[in-house]
Structure 1
């Protein structure tokens, strides 16, 4: 019986490399994988899942007009993998549920749980509510040795706590930090008048 998995983690926790590793494992066994990535994530070009360590694989671009269910029904892969799933909308998450429930194809969605303010992304909200299994991809805080659970946005190396929810970026824009280090940086910014 197929399941919908949501594997979330802070920035730089290795989610994209896990997507690529999982795809490789299926394909090495002669199984077919359908790989999706949202159009909004263009850090390394549209239509590619790319890890910070330099491994890349082409993916189907999720746009507002893409019918993921029909594509899955036509292609009949052994597994569907979704990178940057936090950028999905409710309709797209429900399409993943239908793929699992009606086509009996397992779906593994990887993404951030929350933004740089600690607020859930739309896709993450619906995946947390609807996934059969939720798993954390762990990483270490940039500032200490605790587990990173927050994504701290930085501008010119300085933490910022206001702005648009979505700003595509990597290590130059975001750091994985624990809640304590995040809170300390936020208090420091507030005291300095930066929030």
Structure 2
């Protein structure tokens, strides 16, 4: 029975690297996969998924209007898919998460989603909230805070490295805009940040 998986973590935990390793494992055995990533993430040098350690692969891009059920079903009709993998899954809409569940349930294709659980204010992303609620398997990947504790939070920082308390939920960036911290250091950084 195919399942819907959600691999979640803070920044710098190796989510994209883990996805790319899983994709390699399927393809090495001659199995077809379909990779997806958020269209709004324009940091990559090509239309695909790139990890911070330099691995990369081509991927389809989804936005709010993408019907994942229709697109995956059409691809599966041409070449049977062994797995569907989604990077930046926090940017999925709730409806798209349900489409991915349908792919697992009705098409019998495992779906592996990788993404952030919470934003820079500690709030759940809508896509992550639904994944946490309906995924068959939840797997937490680990990142490390500067203190050595498990990093579970994503602190947004400005150009000077100061904590940012307010703003849009989605602002694309890497190590220049976000720092993975344990809850204690995240809370301390926000408490010391200037009011917006």
TM-score bucket (shorter structure): over 0.9
Q: Which runs of 4+ in 1 moved over 4 A?
A: none
Answer yes or no: is 1:123 the counterpart of 2:124: no
2:22 corresponds to: 22
1:69 corresponds to: 69
1:194 corresponds to: 195
Give runs of aligned pairs for residues 46-125 of structure 1, distance below 5 A. Answer: 47-76=47-76, 77-125=81-129
- Out of 124, 138, 141, the position equivalent to 1:137 is 141
| Contact 1:111–1:124 (8 Å) recurs in 2 | yes
1:173 corresponds to: 177
2:151 corresponds to: 148
Q: CA deviation at 1:45?
A: 4.4
SS in structure 1 opposite 2:102? helix
SS in structure 1 opposite 2:144? coil
Where structure 2 has 5 or more consecutive residues not aligned to the other structure, the ranges are none
| Contact 1:148–1:176 (8 Å) recurs in 2 | yes
- Out of 153, 168, 174, the position equivalent to 1:164 is 168
Structure 1 Cα separation of the partners of residues 45 and 136 of structure 2: 31
TM-score (norm 1): 0.94
Question: May I ask how many residue pairs the two structures share in their alignment?
Answer: 191
SS in structure 1 opposite 2:84? strand
1:13 corresponds to: 13
SS in structure 1 opposite 2:43? coil
